[in-house]
Amino acid sequence: MAHLQVADEQYIFRPETRNKLFILLGVGVALFVLGLILAMRSGGHHEEAGHGEGHGMIKTENLVASTEKAAAGDQEEHHAAAAEAGEGHHTKGWKERLFSSLWMNNVFFTGLGIIGLFFVAIQYAAQAGWSAGVLRVPLAMGNWIPIAGILMIVLYFTTGHDIFHWTHHDLYDANSAEYDPLINKKAPFFFWPGHAGGFPIFYIFRMVLFFSMWYWFFTMIKKNMLAEDLENSTSYWYKNRVISTWFLIFFAVSSSIAAWDWVMSIDTHWFSTMFGWYVFASWWVTGLATITLICAFLKDAGYLKVVNSNHLHDLGKFVFAFSIFWTYIWFGQFLLIYYANIPEETVYFIERMTTSPYSWIFYATLILNFVLPFLLLMTRDAKRQLSTLKLVCPIVIVGHWFDFFQMVTPGVMQQNGGLGFLEIGLALVFLAVFLLVALSNLAKVPLVGKNHPMLQESLNHHI
């Protein structure tokens, strides 16, 4: 193998790029404000529309009512009355819609940040050589972790009751009309060691622990990678391999629990043992598509000379394979619930498959996240060309944004959920800020770790 020389590369975050992102941010804010005004004005009307949605909605109502009746035991009359009124517990208006959209976007973009770190850790733990040239891109995405963490905690305290049904203290009071024995049994998961219905100590502790540990692992790995640039020594690679291994063990547990905490607990009665992997699979393939897309745009701008079609091929294979993996997990969850046909489980899918506006999104996610990437990325040539990657990666990213929309919104909004300017605007705001953070951090460090011990292997990579 030929020993190849690598020129130092530095990404320059040009004012033009920055301006484009600010325009994106501006468009996002404008759409968001427009959407918010529309949502506020049509608040009352929307609920009426909700009542007349048709059979699907009524079916859901009945199912919710029946499970709640069973759960509440002697409180049957109250719940039946509530179900007849057409609302579960609260009237859902623009405020819930705003909160649910904020929460959903933050969970989605948290994934992009943490997957950046996860990708780097995987490469070190697997002693992978091919990826040595692209590692700085996922590393830059990891800079989103602390911001996501702060947003998550702030949003929890701002939106609490409106998103998480389990935060209502009445649910845990046996003398209350709202008493719910099923949720009461789950109380220690949120409130330990405090009393049920009080401050969710265990829940907040986990949130803080996960983000601070992820951030700590991120800073350690980043520190070693940057130290390696200054000193040509393999010791940093060995250190990072050890840190990465510990991170992966921690992430295996924390990503699952994070998924239960931040997403599954919204539908408090419902549970799925696959949910942790499901959220992880969605995060992971979105993160891979984002890494690939950023690499593709950097290549277009003349950067990343060390990355050629062989490396793109590997990234494309990742996106292809994990699109199938997501589908496998999705189907694994769906088939069991479909077959067992237990009301408290099927309610989750019936709500998403038969009520507006979730119904079309439900089927659209399968096309966007499985059919299109599967067919478009199947051939070798498709994975090796920038043009096809730049087509498929946005499809996957948008598809999984819809996937997270489906996970969060129906649980918060029931049949009053909406997908309009508000949601799209907010997603654009998050996207613009995420890219501003990731790209400005990418510009602060050399684009290629020139002393990475595997760099020669990466340059000679040939598949």
By the criterion CB under 8 A, which residues form the site for other proteins? 331, 334-335, 338-339, 341, 378-380, 462
Q: Which residues does residue 446 pair with via DSSP β-bridges, in sequence order?
A: 10
Q: Which is nearer to other proteins, 22 or 338 (CB)?
A: 338
User: Taking the complex as a whole, how short is the minimal distance between the CB of residue 349 and other proteins, in angstroms?
Assistant: 11
The set of residues, in sequence order, having a beta carbon less than 8 Å from that of 294 and lying 6+ positions away, is: 137, 141, 438
Q: Which is nearer to other proteins, 235 or 379 (CB)?
A: 379
Phi, psi of 195 (to 5 degrees): -90, 150
Q: Which is nearer to other proteins, 175 or 341 (CB)?
A: 341
Contact 461, 130 (CB under 8 A): yes
What is the rounded distance in angstroms from the CA atom of residue 304 to the CA atom of residue 321? 24
Residue 29 class from Cβ within 10 Å (0-12 exposed, 13-18 middle, 19+ buried)?
middle
What is the rounded distance in angstroms from the CA atom of residue 50 to the CA atom of residue 36? 18
User: Taking the complex as a whole, how short is the minimal distance between the CB of residue 118 and other proteins, in angstroms?
Assistant: 27
What is the rounded distance in angstroms from the CA atom of residue 446 to the CA atom of residue 220? 17
Q: Which is nearer to other proteins, 331 or 360 (CB)?
A: 331
Contact 402, 305 (CB under 8 A): no
User: Taking the complex as a whole, how short is the minimal distance between the CB of residue 89 and other proteins, in angstroms?
Assistant: 31
User: Taking the complex as a whole, how short is the minimal distance between the CB of residue 185 and other proteins, in angstroms?
Assistant: 28
User: Taking the complex as a whole, how short is the minimal distance between the CB of residue 341 and other proteins, in angstroms?
Assistant: 7
User: Taking the complex as a whole, how short is the minimal distance between the CB of residue 334 and other proteins, in angstroms?
Assistant: 7
Q: Which is nearer to other proteins, 3 or 462 (CB)?
A: 462
**Dihedral, CA atoms, 292, 296, 301, 307, nearest 10 degrees?**
80
User: Taking the complex as a whole, how short is the minimal distance between the CB of residue 33 and other proteins, in angstroms?
Assistant: 42
Length of the chain: 463
Q: Which is nearer to other proteins, 157 or 339 (CB)?
A: 339
Q: Which is nearer to other proteins, 5 or 341 (CB)?
A: 341
For 139-166, give the secondary structure using H, E and C: HHHCCHHHHHHHHHHHHHHHHHHHHCHH
What is the rounded distance in angstroms from the CA atom of residue 20 to the CA atom of residue 13? 11
The single residue listed with the structure tokens 């990678």 is 225
What is the rounded distance in angstroms from the CA atom of residue 163 to the CA atom of residue 203? 15
Residue 182 class from Cβ within 10 Å (0-12 exposed, 13-18 middle, 19+ buried)?
middle
User: Taking the complex as a whole, how short is the minimal distance between the CB of residue 1 and other proteins, in angstroms?
Assistant: 8
What is the rounded distance in angstroms from the CA atom of residue 372 to the CA atom of residue 69? 42
User: Taking the complex as a whole, how short is the minimal distance between the CB of residue 94 and other proteins, in angstroms?
Assistant: 37
Spatial CA neighbour of 292 closest among 369, 394, 382 = 394
Q: Which is nearer to other proteins, 216 or 349 (CB)?
A: 349
Q: What is the DSSP letter of 16?
A: H
User: Taking the complex as a whole, how short is the minimal distance between the CB of residue 71 and other proteins, in angstroms?
Assistant: 24
Amino acid at 286: T
Q: Which is nearer to other proteins, 49 or 353 (CB)?
A: 353
Q: Which is nearer to other proteins, 154 or 378 (CB)?
A: 378
> Quick one: tokens of 437?
């953070």
Number of neighbours of residue 239 by Cβ within 10 angstroms: 17
